[in-house]
Structure 1
Amino acid sequence: MGNIVYTRIDDRLVHGQVMTAWVQVTKANEVLIVDDDVAKDTFLQMVMKSAMPNKVSLKVVTINEAKDYIENQGKGKNIFILVKTPLTVERLHEQEVNIQSLGVGGMGAREDRMTLYRNISASDEEKRALIRLNELGVDVFFQVTPDNTKVRLSNVLKGA
């Protein structure tokens, strides 16, 4: 089985300095994007692969392919899981993918979302997913960049 070194929500997925910083800090040698739509978009995958740091591979799988990939093809890799929403992480947890902590870094404003923490927004359904994951023992925290302090979900909800 692959070693999951970090699981992050960032709806921008692979992007510039933040991605480079996270990959470096976590010592990941593979970024695994779990997203059904991106898995179908070969052009977007090509663009993201070109933005990856050297020595770090990028793999894109559907939610249903993720567990098998991590357990089999991910063997010996330090995997950084990247998703767009907490709903994906909740589905992975239901499939018994061993996610122990979840960093929430980027969920942009949309019509169905309200501000949850700083510039991070969530719909009611996404907020419930974060709470459920936390109740299931996943350490859910907000941290935009590695040099920011982690802010636990429970502290964010106290202020909400």
Structure 2
Amino acid sequence: MIDIALLRIDDRLIHGQIITKWLSNLKFDTIIVADDKAANDPLEKTLLQMATPNKIDLKVFSIDQAIKFLTDKTQNLKAFILVRNTNAALKIVEKLTEANIRLELVNVGNISMNPNKKKIFKAVWVDDQDIENLKKIEALGIKTIVQVIPEEKPIPFFNDK
């Protein structure tokens, strides 16, 4: 059975904070990048592999491949799941829920500046679709938080709860 350490939305995917902060805090053995673009780009896959320590198993999947892998109950690992956006997070959360695989929370770590998005936190810019996706995740009983690094206090995405 897969133990999901965290599902994080971070459009940078793997970078220094993931390796130096989250790895030491959560002690996962596998990073699963669930991203259609990265899965189909050999250069991006190579760069992601270069950024991953040798002791960590990296899997770069399309979103659908990641769902298939994550719902395969014969896997035995502790995974840190990275997605680039809220659309991917929602799709994965819905499929995990359907497969009775429990996820406690979704971490919103970084959604980069975009002229069509509104800044809600220092590294988080969202539009109406992002808000709707995160509301759907919460409707499934999964908390959404903003937390850039583990040393920061997690902030509920929706403060009205």
Equivalent residues in 2 for 1:95-134, closer than 5 Å: 95-96=95-96, 98=101, 99-134=103-138
Checking the alignment, whether the CA contact within 8 Å between 1:6 and 1:79 is kept in structure 2 is yes
Percent identity between matched residues is: 27
**Superposition CA RMSD, Å:** 1.8
Q: TM-score, with normalisation over the residues of structure 2?
A: 0.89
Checking the alignment, whether the CA contact within 8 Å between 1:3 and 1:75 is kept in structure 2 is no
Distance (Å, rounded) in 2 between the aligned partners of 1:67 and 1:100: 17
Aligned match for 1:136, one of 134, 137, 140: 140
Match of residue 49 from structure 2? 49
CA drift of 1:46 comes to 0.8
Distance (Å, rounded) in 1 between the aligned partners of 2:33 and 2:154: 22
Equivalent residue letter for 1:44: E
Match of residue 78 from structure 1? 78
Distance (Å, rounded) in 1 between the aligned partners of 2:59 and 2:80: 10
Instruction: Tell me, yes or no, if structure 1 residue 30 matches structure 2 residue 30.
Output: yes
Secondary structure of the structure 2 residue equivalent to 1:8: strand
User: Cα 1:134–1:36, aligned 2, differ >3 Å: closer, same or farther?
Assistant: same
Secondary structure of the structure 2 residue equivalent to 1:95: helix
Match of residue 66 from structure 2? 66
Checking the alignment, whether the CA contact within 8 Å between 2:8 and 2:81 is kept in structure 1 is yes
Q: TM-score, with normalisation over the residues of structure 1?
A: 0.90
Checking the alignment, whether the CA contact within 8 Å between 1:31 and 1:57 is kept in structure 2 is yes
Checking the alignment, whether the CA contact within 8 Å between 1:20 and 1:53 is kept in structure 2 is no
Secondary structure of the structure 2 residue equivalent to 1:110: coil
Distance (Å, rounded) in 2 between the aligned partners of 1:8 and 1:135: 18
Q: Deviations over 1:71-104 (max 9, x none)?
A: 3387111000000111111111222353321111
Equivalent residue letter for 2:145: F
CA drift of 1:105 comes to 0.6
Checking the alignment, whether the CA contact within 8 Å between 1:49 and 1:57 is kept in structure 2 is no
CA drift of 1:132 comes to 1.5
Aligned length: 157
Q: Which moved more, 1:111-120 or 1:42-51?
A: 111-120
Checking the alignment, whether the CA contact within 8 Å between 2:29 and 2:79 is kept in structure 1 is yes
Distance (Å, rounded) in 2 between the aligned partners of 1:141 and 1:110: 20
Equivalent residue letter for 2:132: R
